[in-house]
Amino acid sequence: MQLMLALLLVIPSSLFQQAAAAGKPQGMTTEPAAFAQFQAEKNPEAKKKLALGFEKNYPKSRRLPDVYIELSKALVAGNDYATAKQYAEKAVSAVTALKAQPTPPENTDKTWHEWLSTIDASAKSNLSWVNQMAAWQQQQLRGLLNGGKR
């Protein structure tokens, strides 16, 4: 009888764990964990791969503008200005898409709109910075091609 009781307690919990694991594709992490992994990565190429994975796995995430902003900065650091500009523009577009969504239940209208305003300003400021860095790079290249003459 005790053995039957023990089996009844153990079997349902293992079935529940298997069912929970079956609902999430193998190798997938939670959104907060994927975002944290992306933020912690220092290598620009690895960071780009993590960003692409995050974008694919969480296409409606409120963190996408942050991912795009941070990736564009890493790409500028790696002298990939064209791709950095693409991601800076994606950050601005992602904020625009978020503005069209209703206020999430965990936020008040005021906090949601304040956050949207902040992330919008950040995305636009980042795009401006990326454009400035790309223009600076072009100026440096022209200077080299002209033999340092201005």
Mean pLDDT in residue range 2-7: 42
User: For 101-121, how does the pLDDT look when each residue is reduced to its tens digit (9 = 90+)?
Assistant: 999 999 999 999 999 999 999
User: For 20-78, how does the pLDDT look when each residue is reduced to its tens digit (9 = 90+)?
Assistant: 333 444 455 899 999 999 999 998 889 999 999 999 999 999 999 999 999 999 999 98
39 and 70 Cβ atoms separated by less than 8 Å: yes
Q: Which of 19-23, 97-101, 144-148 has the highest mean pLDDT?
A: 97-101
Residue 24 burial (10 A CB sphere; 0-12, 13-18, 19+): exposed
Rounded to 10 deg, the angle between the 31-40 and 44-57 helix axes is 160
Position 126 pLDDT exceeds 90: yes
Q: How confident is the model at residue 6 (pLDDT cuts 50, 70, 90)?
A: very low
User: For 83-96, how does the pLDDT look when each residue is reduced to its tens digit (9 = 90+)?
Assistant: 999 999 999 999 99
- Cα–Cα distance for residue pair 2/89, rounded to 1 Å: 64
What is residue 145's predicted lDDT score, i.e. its pLDDT?
84
Position 12 pLDDT exceeds 80: no
pTM of structure: 0.76
Question: CA nearest 71: which of 100, 97, 92, 49?
Answer: 49
Expressed in angstroms, the distance from the first to the final Cα of the chain is: 93
